[in-house]
Copies of this chain bind each other. A is one copy, B any other.
Amino acid sequence: MAGNKESCVDCGPGESRKSAASRVFDTAKDLFYRRGIRAVGVDEIVCEAGVTKPSLYRAFKSKDDLVTACLTQNAAEGREGILAAIAAAGDDPRKRLSAVIDHHADKIRCPDYRGCPISNVAVEMPEPGNPGREVLEQCKTDFRAIMVDLSRDLDVAYPEALADGLLLVIEGAIATHHIFGSQGPALSLVETCESLIDSHMERAR
């Protein structure tokens, strides 16, 4: 059989082969993001990951469990990316807020971008009882809180309104990407956000 633990097409020579569980997880996360949760079957995941079905079910008790695990990871990665962008922006409140906007603009410019993995699944997962939905709601609630905190550091009269306004623009840029790609209305993301911030700051003066 082709491939062994020390060198294969998926991990390169010298790099130790990852466990079946983590291969399943990485593959599933990628496939779910690129094609959607319902569009990807467990057979495709194990095939793409180069493992077998029992390996998947030894690591995750169901497909739903795997989905929730991927969503949790997506949420954590997204949050870390945003916090890192804020931390790298220094201490100026305005720059910190702009960093979050630029961070999203950068992500949208990536050629393999396909929307926010959390927002995408929110469309596919309307049932309130689903365990994955709590991850989605917590993730977006956290993001909203971050935006409110950043807005409060600015001298504006209504930081919550500014935060929600920016959130709408960012989510809108993410959403329109599905139709128009990165060269559509999403190009106006930064400009529109900065204009909104300016308006709130001028009004406060």
Contacts and interface: CB of A to CB of B under 8 A. Distances in A.
Interface of A: 34-36, 38-39, 114-115, 119-120, 122-124, 126, 136-137, 140-141, 144, 161, 164-165, 167-176, 178-180, 184-189, 191-192, 195-196, 198-200
A171 B176 contact: yes
Contact of A126 (B36, B136, B167, B168): B36
A168 B195 contact: no
Most B CB within 10 A of own CB, among A124, A161, A191: A124
A195 B192 contact: no
A35 B185 CA distance: 28
A176 B165 contact: no
Kindly report how many copies of this chain are found in the complex they form together: 2
Given A126-B35, A144-B185, A192 B175 contact: no
B144 A168 contact: no
Contact of A172 (B39, B122, B136, B168): B168
Nearest to A133: B179
B188 A161 contact: yes
A79 to B, nearest CB: 15
A168 B191 CA distance: 11
Nearest to A200: B195
A170 to B, nearest CB: 7
Contacts of A39: 38, 124
Contacts of A136: 179
Given A39-B124, A123-B123, A124-B123, A140 B191 contact: no
Contacts of A34: 126
